[in-house]
Amino acid sequence: MKKSASRKAFEVFNVIFMILLSVVMLYPFLYVASCSVSSSASIQAGRVGLIPEGFNIDAYRAIIGYKVIWRSYGNTIYYTVLGTAINLIMTMLGAYPLSRSDFYGRGVFTVIIAITMYFSGGLIPTFLTINALGMYDTVWAIVLPGAISTMNMIIMRTFFQGIPDALEEAAIIDGASDMQVLIRIILPLSVPSIMTIGMFYAVGHWNSWFPPLIYFRTSTKYPLQLVLRQIVIENNTNELEAMQQGMYIEDETKMNSSAETLKYAVIMVSAIPILCVYPFVQKYFVKGVMIGSIKG
């Protein structure tokens, strides 16, 4: 089929538009990366673009020497691993019975669960409940209140329902208990979907900062995102000065401007793990959205 001139023009425009869009999406990160290795004087003078000027890695050296960043990194990993493990166990324990048509009371339980998608106690009553449970300033306030995302549980239930009943029945006839069926039959068959949902949860934990903000009093328990917020958004001078100790700065004026480079470097340090992982995991997320949209 021959293409008309206007069609060709449109196609060219479309490709240019997509390239522009990609640039708009990526440029901020490339700029941040470039600034994080440039001299602060060049940033200030507006001379830094995609190519760094006055290349140096002092900021990264300072961050490596600054133990608050590493501690918060460790905290984030801890909360993510523990939180995701709890999420997956609880979500499976909910999803499997709900996927069984012979689970008496399934309708009632579904309603009890679905109601919570539309009504909630709200911030203050939830906060007071968690305090009353003695979870304030403990890791449990971070990992337990969100142990199940109802949406994820519904997605997982849909996955489980897709597994042929005959497999379960055969196992039950062979004398397997429901627990054994879940562990030996259902789980091995659902590894991809469990991975997908596990990644939903893990990215959520990795990026979470509001619950830690309201439930942690002790700053040594802060995750990376909260430390990042202190440094980049609140411009916390204590943190910045502490980091600058590692930068061998000769005079006061340089002290002030090096803070900028440090902020860019801290953004990079916290974004790098996600930037490395997301191109590989995004397709699972997309799949999850599709399933969620069909059900919802």
Partner 1 sequence: MASKVKLSKAQKAHERQRTWQNIKKNKWLYVMFAPVLIYYIIFKYVPMVGIVIAFKNYNVFKGIWASPWVGFQQFQRFFNSIYAWRLIRNTFLISFYGLIFGFPAPILLALLLNELKDGAFKKVTQTISYLPHFLSSVIIAGIVTSFLRPETGLFNNIRAALGLERIYFLIYPQYFRTIYTTMGIWAGIGWGSIIYLAALTGVDPELYEACIIDGGGRFRQTLHITIPGILPTITIMLIMRIGQLLSVGSDTILLLYTPSTYITADVISTYVYRVGLIDANYSFSAAVGLFNSVIAMVLLTISNSLSKRFGETSLW
- Told to check if 144 binds partner 1 by CB under 8 A, we report yes
- Told to check if 263 binds partner 1 by CB under 8 A, we report yes
d(CA 80, CA 73): 11
Neighbours of 198 (CB within 10 A): 17
Q: Which helix (H) or strand (E) holds 129?
A: helix 123-132
Tokens 């918060």, residue located: 72
Stretch that binds partner 1, among 50-58, 64-72, 225-233, 246-254 (CB under 8 A): 225-233
- Told to check if 253 binds partner 1 by CB under 8 A, we report no
**CB-based contact 223:79 (threshold 8 Å):** yes
Considering only residues 99-128, where is the footprint of partner 1 by CB under 8 A?
100, 102-104, 109, 112-114, 116, 118-128
d(CA 130, CA 3): 64
Least distance to partner 1, CB of residue 118, Å: 7
- Told to check if 29 binds partner 1 by CB under 8 A, we report yes
Length of the chain: 296
Alpha helices by DSSP H, 100-122: 106-118
Identified binder of partner 1 from the candidate list 179, 191, 218, 252, rule CB under 8 A: 179
- Told to check if 50 binds partner 1 by CB under 8 A, we report no
Size of the site for partner 1 (CB under 8 A): 89
Least distance to partner 1, CB of residue 61, Å: 20
Identified binder of partner 1 from the candidate list 110, 161, 177, 238, rule CB under 8 A: 177
- Told to check if 8 binds partner 1 by CB under 8 A, we report no
Least distance to partner 1, CB of residue 7, Å: 6
Identified binder of partner 1 from the candidate list 82, 214, 249, 255, rule CB under 8 A: 214
Nearer to partner 1, 97 or 246 (CB): 97
**CB-based contact 160:95 (threshold 8 Å):** yes
**CB-based contact 194:88 (threshold 8 Å):** yes
Angle at 293 between CA 292 and CA 295, to 5 degrees: 65
Identified binder of partner 1 from the candidate list 2, 4, 217, 250, rule CB under 8 A: 4
Neighbours of 205 (CB within 10 A): 22
Least distance to partner 1, CB of residue 67, Å: 20
Tokens 């440029």, residue located: 27
